[in-house]
Each structure stands twice: as structure tokens, then as C-alpha cells.
Chains A and B, each alone.
Chain A
Amino acid sequence: MRIGDFKESYAADEALFRTPTARAWLAVLAAALVAFPFVAGDYLLYLANLVGVFLIAALGLNILTGYTGQISLGHAAFMGVGAYATAVAATRLDAPFWLAVPAGGAAACLAGAVVGVPSLRIKGLYLAIATLAAQVIFEWVFTNWESVTGGIRGINVPPASLAGFRFDTDLRSYFLVLPLAALHAYAAANLFRTRVGRAFIAVRDRDLSAELMGVNLFRTKILAFMTSSWFAGIAGGLFVYFAKVVTPESFPLSLSIQLLAMIIVGGLGTIQGALYGTVFVTLVPEALRSLTQLAQRLSPDAMTWFYPMRDIVFGAMIVGFLVFEPRGLAEIVSRARRFFALWPFPK
């Protein structure tokens, strides 16, 4: 049982992780994450990298949709802009990855600003459809602007390297993805303790009231689009180094939807939610795949069921969470924590 919450200084009160218990768990998590690749096999490592990349994108989408209330159905397109910018910087300009990836972030940031400009006038469902249009248009550009994007063949990218160390295996990429994902999660968590972040939340809760309280709506909304696209662009850039090739098929509308599913399943407007959701949404289809492979021993045509079942499970996951647990996995976790906070005494 944990009792008492006594702070002696403002610094202690402002800390992101406030209690010794929270800090201890964080240390355990960090140790586990560093130890993980030396224990896990290639397949698990591949999944971990995938989760890391999607986590950055989901954090970004959560900033825009979960915290600022602007629905984006075009987040995969922002990832795509980041990925192509990174790929072009890496192949045409021979930029090292530590320049190419931020270049991808910056390019996505710019694209986000352009898509965000109409958001002052277009609201809610209409904005959702406008971002859907952005997704369709960007996908078309990726496919057809052949001189830059290489058309449907895409662009092959050499692995990232730092001072002679090449991040060319899943194990090595892990140590590229993990610090960046952790850094972005930390940045996102801190964002909502600043004036700008609080303005985002005010805009979500009631944009007109926020404006009356002195929040510059236009600037705030654009900033939300840009921040969120930066995250998406970095995720896209990392994806390029991790997948070693970028093609238009990498960033379809279904990826945008998957990212939305992640933040909904995890919990809209929470940082932990983006993490839980990303892990859950990425791993559930893989679990289903393993199950199907088991079932294949019983009946050889079980694999034909895999893709339809994946669609059904994905849809049921979204519908189920929205109907039964609209605040997502983050709420389940905090309910469990509340239960144990007073345990073994009843509430």
C-alpha cells in the first residue's frame, strides 16, 4: 500500500514521474528495454522495431487528434512525406541519417502546416474528410511524381551508419529506434505541461472558449498540425532506414486508420495510451498469425482464414473498445493501479 503524497519543493511537485515507486518502475522498464534485444529472437526484434516506429507516429497523431481534437485521416501521408524526404536526402544528397531523418521530420512538418491551414475554417467531420482528401492526394503524388519518388518502384536506401557503425540488422536498428521513440515520448509528455500544450487541450475542449481566453486559434491549430506531423515524419524517416526501401504502398489509408485505432484502443489524449495502443494493435494480428499457424496443423487451409479474420478482429477491436471501454487501455491500467493503491483495504 502506498500512502501520503508529500512534496517539499516545487521541483518535486513538477516532476514528470512523481513518486519513488513510479521512478523505480521506470528504471525497471528501461533495463528491460535495453536487455530485450539480447534475449529476443529476430522476429520479436522486428516487431519491437515496428512498434517503436509506429509509437512515434501514434504519439504524433495523439497530439493532434487526442489532445487538440482535430481528426486526421491522413497521418500515414505525413509519414510518407517524411519517409520520401529522408530517402531523397539520403540517396541524392548523401546526407547521413542524423540529418536525413530530421529532414524528413521537417518536410512532414511543412506538409502538416499546409494541410492544417484550412483547419481554422473547417471543423469536425468536414476536417476529417479534408484530411482524407490529403491522404488520397499525397498517395497519388507518391505514385506519380516519378522523378523524385521513383514511382511504384520506390527508392532503395542504404542502412544508417554512425561513425562507422552500421545499423543494418534488426538488432542494431533497435538501438536506433528505441532512443528516438523514448525521446519523442518524453517530449510529448512534457509538451502538455507547457503553455502551448495546454492551449492544445483548451482548443479540443471548446475552441471558441479557448479563443476568448486568449489562445490564438489559428496559430495553435497550425502548431498542433506541425508538431504532430514532425512526429509522423520522424517515424516515416526511421521506417525507411528500417525497411530499407520506400514505396507508395507503404503509406496507404489503412495505415492512417491503423494509427487512429492505436490511439483509440490505447486511450485518446494520454501518452501511455499511445504506447499501450501501439503495442496492442501491432501484436494482436501477429498473435492471430501464430494461432493460424497452429491451426494449420489441424487443417491445411487454415491460412485462407487469416486475412479475413485479421480484418474482423481489427474491426471488432475498434468497435469493442469504443462501445465498452471508450477511454481505452490507459483507463483499464489506471483502474488497476487505483485498485492496488489502497490494496488490501476496500475503497
Chain B
Amino acid sequence: MDHLLQLLVSGVVTGGIYALIAIGFVVVYKATGVINFATGELMMIGAFFAWTAMTAARAPFAVAVLVAALGAALVGAAVERVVLRPLMGQRAISVIMVTIGLSSIFKGLAQIVWTGEYRSFPAIFPRKPLVLGPVLLPSRQAYPFLIALAAILLLALLFRFTRTGTAMRATAGDQATAFGMGIDIRRMFSLSWMLAAITAALAGIVIGTIGGISPQLGAVGLRIFPVVILGGLDSVGGALLGGIVVGVLENLAGGYLDPLLPGAGVKDVAPFVALVLILMVRPYGLFGTREIERL
């Protein structure tokens, strides 16, 4: 029983981080209809910004996070303006491939700037593990999870209560109407990319503090696809739920199926099997908006 509880709790913890990445992804999809395959690389770049601030400039953690967020926002805005705006309204394949191309560029640049070596963050969190009843949570998992939760909460508040957040939701809902109401659509596109880059950077830092960073960190970005499909590409609440479900699923599959099945890696493949099954039953994910097509 304790084994199950432990698996569940560490699943929820990983899931919270997945949810954070997925929300950045969903924000971009909602506003601009772009599937961002460069999410993982944005994470990696953001994490490297923070790492550089902490090691080269000896900045405290909070300052490093701010620096990374600022840098990521700049990168996000530049990407939107230079690469994605000319492609607005193009076929899905073009939009997918352009973000894949971007991810390749980012990976190469990071290898040149920070070399391919594996780096670890300086110790940030207190070392005492958190004890929740029978479950022991190492501090390097607990604090990142709390940071992820706080970031998600902050984003939710931003969308719900600020003027800009409302404008972003309006743009996501119906671009033409939002435009008619005097909302600057292009600014919203730019903002949503900046937000996505910032959440990605945060997620990158959070993951980096757990297991270190390298230019290969972007590979984690692939794991968000089961998350966003589960939740539906355009549902923020779905992303949160999807993240946690996938995190738990991964851990349960790793804990119970790995010994039964030949070979390793059940943990990595299980979410994708779930993804296919869900798409078979609900083609727009669990909470995605069903597109009504008219001729």
C-alpha cells in the first residue's frame, strides 16, 4: 500500500511540472493555433539562462528566475515576430514544421553557447525531505512542485482577473470579434508566445533543479503531447488535469508494469498508448473543443 501511495505522490509531483509545461503550450495553441514543437527547447534555453545567471554572475535563485523569465520572453517575442507571423493562416504542416525547425536551431545554438556538457544547478532548496504521513518526498522534488503550482495559480489569476488576460481569452475565443472590439490581436499573439516561453523557462528551471540540464533537455518536450491530448489542445484546466494524470500513469506503469513486460521504458511509452486510446474514443481530447466544420 505504501508503495502505491509513494508512486501516486511522486506521480502527482511530476504531473504538476508537466502541467506547467502544458499550460504554456495550450496558451499558444489557443491564441494562435500553433502546435509548438519547440516547447522543450524553450525550456532548455530558459533553464540555461537561469544557470548562467547563478553560476557566472552568482545571482541568487529568485534573481536568476527573473533573468531567465525576461530572456525567455524576449526569445518568445522574437520567435513570434520573425518566424510565425509570416506563416499565419498557413497549412498545419507548415506551422508544425517551422516549430520543429526552430527547436533544431535552438538545440544547435545551445550546444555552441553552453557546450554539450551536463550541468547541475547549485543547491537551492533546503535538504530536509518533506514527510506527508507515510510518504517521504525528497526536497528536490517537493519544492519544484510547489514552484510549479504557484506558477500555474499565478497564470490562472492573470487570465481571470487582469485586463490583458481577458483580452487574451477573448482573442482565443473568437479572433474576428475580439479584433472588432478593439483588441490588438497581434499584441496578443506576441504576448501569448512570451507567456509560453516564460512558463517553459520556469518548467525548465524546475526540471533542471531536479536532474541537471544539458542541451538534450528539450527531449522532455515530447512528453507533453500525451498531456495536452488528454486535456484537449485548447483547455487550460485540461492541461492541469492531463499533467497530473500522465504523471501518475507514468509512475504506475513504471512501478507495476516494468517488472511484467520485457525490456525497459514502459514508463515512457505508456502515456503514448493512453494518448492513442483516448484519441480513438474522443478525437478532440477529453476537454478539447469539438470543431464544427462547415462548407
A interface residues, Cβ below 8 angstroms from B:
65, 69, 71, 73, 118, 121-126, 128-130, 132-134, 136-137, 140, 143-146, 151, 206, 208-209, 212, 253, 257, 260-261, 264, 268, 305, 307-319, 322-323, 326
Pair B87/A323 contact, Cβ less than 8 Å: yes
Smallest CB separation, B172 vs chain A (Å)? 16
B224 to chain A, nearest CB (A): 10
Do most interface residues of chain A lie in helix, strand or loop, or is the interface mixed? helix
Q: Does B35 have its Cβ within 8 Å of any Cβ on chain A?
A: yes
CB pair A126–B284 under 8 Å, yes or no, is yes
Cβ–Cβ contact B275 & A133, under 8 A = yes
Nearest residue (CB) in B for A313 is B108
A309 touches B108 (CB 8 A): yes
Interface of chain B residues 211 through 240 with chain A (CB within 8 A): 222, 225-226, 229, 233
Please list 5 pairs of residues, one from A and one from B, whose beta carbons are closer than 8 Å in the complex, sorted by A's number: A130-B276, A137-B272, A140-B269, A146-B263, A315-B106
Classify chain B: how many residues form its interface, as a range.
35 or more
Check if A118 sits within 8 Å of B279, measured CB to CB. Answer: yes
Contacts of A209 in B (CB 8 A): 295
Cross-interface CB contact of B98 among A208, A314, A322, cutoff 8 Å:
A322
Q: Taking chain B's interface residues, is the majority helix, strand, or loop, or is none over half, making it mixed?
A: helix
Q: Which residues of A contact B97 (CB under 8 A)?
A: 260-261, 264, 318, 322
Q: A65-B93, A305-B112 are in contact. Are A137 and B107 (CB under 8 A)?
A: no
A305 to B116, CA, bound (A): 11
Closest beta carbon of chain A to B259's beta carbon, Å = 14
Verify if B166 is at the interface (C-beta below 8 Å from A). Answer: no
A151 partner residues in chain B, CB cutoff 8 A: 263
Q: Mark B84-117, 1 if CB is under 8 A from A, else 0.
A: 0011001111101110111111111101100010
A318 to B279, CA, bound (A): 29
- The reply to whether B102 and A319 form a contact with Cβ atoms under 8 Å apart is yes
- Measured in the bound complex, the distance between the Cα atoms of B295 and A124 in whole Å is 17
Chain A CB within 8 A of B83 CB: yes
8 Å CB contact of A126 from B222, B233, B263, B265: B233
If A126-B284, A137-B276 touch, does A318 touch B104 (CB 8 Å cutoff)? yes
Q: What residues of chain B lie closer than 8 Å to A313, measured between beta carbons?
A: 108
Contact A312 B104, beta carbon cutoff 8 Å: yes
Tell whether B126 is near chain A: CB-to-CB under 8 Å. no
Which residues on B sit within 8 Å (CB–CB) of A307?
A: 108, 111, 116
Q: Which of A121, A260, A268, A312 contacts B109 (CB 8 A)?
A: A312
Taking CB atoms, residues of chain A closer than 8 Å to B226 are 133
Whether B283 sits at the interface, judged by CB under 8 Å, is yes
A126/B229 in contact, CB under 8 A: yes
B295 adjacent to A123 (CB under 8 Å): no
Given A71-B93, A315-B105, 16 new contacts (CB under 8 A):
A65-B93, A73-B96, A125-B233, A128-B93, A129-B229, A133-B275, A133-B276, A136-B268, A140-B269, A144-B264, A264-B93, A264-B97, A307-B116, A308-B108, A308-B116, A326-B94
Say whether B261 faces chain A, with CB atoms less than 8 Å apart. yes
Q: Determine how close the nearest CB of chain A comes to the CB of B114; give it in whole angstroms.
A: 10
Closest chain A residue to B34, Cβ basis: A125
Also in contact, A257 and B283, with CB within 8 A (given A136-B269, A144-B262): no
The smallest C-beta distance from A317 to any residue of chain B, in angstroms, reads: 7
In the assembled complex, which residues on chain A have CB atoms less than 8 Å from the CB atom of B283? 118, 121-123, 126
Known contacts A65-B93, A144-B263, A146-B262; A316 and B295 CB within 8 A of each other:
no
**Contact in complex: A137, B269 (CB < 8 Å):** yes
Determine whether B280 belongs to the interface, using a CB cutoff of 8 Å to chain A: yes
CA distance in complex: A136, B267 (Å) = 12
List residues of chain B with CB within 8 A of the CB of A144.
261-265
Nearest chain A residue, comparing its CB with the CB of B113: A308
User: Would B101 and A133 count as touching, CB distance under 8 A?
Assistant: no
> Which chain B residues (113-135) contact chain A, with CB distance < 8 Å?
116
B273 contacts the other chain (CB 8 A): yes
B56 CB to closest chain A CB (Å) equals: 20
Is A318 in contact with B225, judged by CB distance below 8 angstroms?
Answer: no
Cβ of B2 within 8 Å of any chain A Cβ, yes or no, is: no
**In the bound complex, how far is the Cα of B108 from the Cα of A73, in angstroms?**
21
Asked if A129 and B93 sit within 8 Å, CB to CB, the answer is: no
* B293 CB within 8 Å of chain A: yes
Tell whether, in the assembled complex, residue A312 and residue B101 are in contact, meaning their CB atoms are under 8 Å apart. Answer: no
A133 to B285 CA separation, bound complex (whole angstroms): 14
* Bound form: Cα–Cα A130–B273 in Å: 10
Determine if A315 and B108 form an interchain contact, defined as CB atoms under 8 angstroms apart. yes
Q: With A and B bound together, what is the CA distance between A124 and B284 in angstroms?
A: 11
Q: Which of A118, A310, A316 contacts B280 (CB 8 A)?
A: A118
* Bound complex: CA A133 to CA B278 (Å): 12
A311 and B105 within 8 A (CB) = yes
Query: Chain B residues near A326 (CB, 8 Å)?
Result: 90, 94
Given A71-B92, A268-B93, A312-B109, A126-B279 contact (CB < 8 Å): yes
Q: In the complex, how many angstroms separate the beta carbon of A138 from the nearest chain B beta carbon?
A: 10
